[in-house]
């Protein structure tokens, strides 16, 4: 498998696929909507960056009023509603990336969209840091360095068994 970066749409569809798989295997609710897919995509992006030092997608998360967003993936979700049209298990993603995505969705996918939204723009989060910069405005990219540092400290190390 080449080291090419996946599109945010492809990863979002894989996340929807994982949620559906967890729903089939688990009693916990992994239902999703556009907001929840966005927050899980943000988490997966940050965790992959923290674990590998590499970007997960070709699109960076940007700040919007209710947290970080991947606009291309959001627009695709709204246009195509991929609840019924998600990625297949064999979607060409590297196995190590699939494992990181599965663990991340397995843990964070249990939370409701509102809980993930609140968490994603809490004080000290990458969204909060960028949103707090004077005159930053909405649609500003969240720098990978800020994401990597935050996810290494607040997610990967905190939840590492």
In a domain, 96, yes or no: yes
In a domain, 67, yes or no: yes
**What is the distance between the alpha carbons of residues 119 and 104, in angstroms, rounded to a whole number?**
15
Q: Taking the complete model, does pTM exceed 0.85, yes or no?
A: yes
**What is the distance between the alpha carbons of residues 161 and 64, in angstroms, rounded to a whole number?**
33
Q: 144 and 48 in contact (C-beta within 8 Å)?
A: no
Helix (H, G, I), strand (E, B) or coil at 95: helix
In a domain, 3, yes or no: no
Please give the residue range of the domain that contains residue 58: 8-159
In a domain, 2, yes or no: no
State residue 41's pLDDT score.
97
Question: Which is more confident, 81 or 65?
Answer: 65
| Report for 19-33, 43-57, 76-90: range of highest mean pLDDT | 43-57
Q: 41 and 72 in contact (C-beta within 8 Å)?
A: no
The CB density around residue 72, as the number of other CB atoms within 10 Å, is 15
State residue 28's pLDDT score.
67
Query: What Rg value do the Cα atoms of the chain yield, rounded?
Result: 15
Q: Is the pLDDT of residue 38 over 80?
A: yes
Q: Is the pLDDT of residue 1 over 50?
A: no
Question: Which is more confident, 28 or 87?
Answer: 28
State residue 96's pLDDT score.
92
Q: Look up tokens 């599109």; give the residue.
A: 7
In a domain, 1, yes or no: no
Number of domains in the chain: 1
**What is the distance between the alpha carbons of residues 51 and 46, in angstroms, rounded to a whole number?**
9
Residue 69, strand partner residues: 62
**What is the distance between the alpha carbons of residues 67 and 131, in angstroms, rounded to a whole number?**
9
In a domain, 127, yes or no: yes
């Amino acid at each position: 498998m080449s080291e090419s970066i996946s599109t945010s749409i492809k990863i979002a569809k894989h996340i929807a696929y994982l949620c559906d798989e967890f729903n089939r295997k688990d009693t916990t609710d992994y239902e999703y909507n556009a907001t929840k897919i966005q927050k899980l995509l943000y988490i997966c992006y940050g965790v992959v960056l923290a674990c590998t030092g590499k970007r997960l997608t070709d699109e960076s998360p940007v700040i919007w009023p209710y947290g970080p967003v991947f606009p291309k993936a959001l627009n695709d979700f709204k246009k195509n509603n991929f609840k019924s049209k998600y990625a297949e298990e064999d979607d060409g993603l590297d196995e190590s990336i699939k494992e990181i995505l599965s663990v991340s969705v397995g843990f964070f996918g249990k939370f409701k969209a509102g809980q993930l939204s609140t968490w994603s723009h809490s004080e000290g989060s990458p969204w909060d840091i960028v949103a707090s910069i004077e005159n930053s405005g909405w649609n500003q990219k969240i720098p990978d360095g800020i994401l990597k540092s935050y996810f290494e400290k607040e997610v990967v190390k905190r939840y590492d068994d």
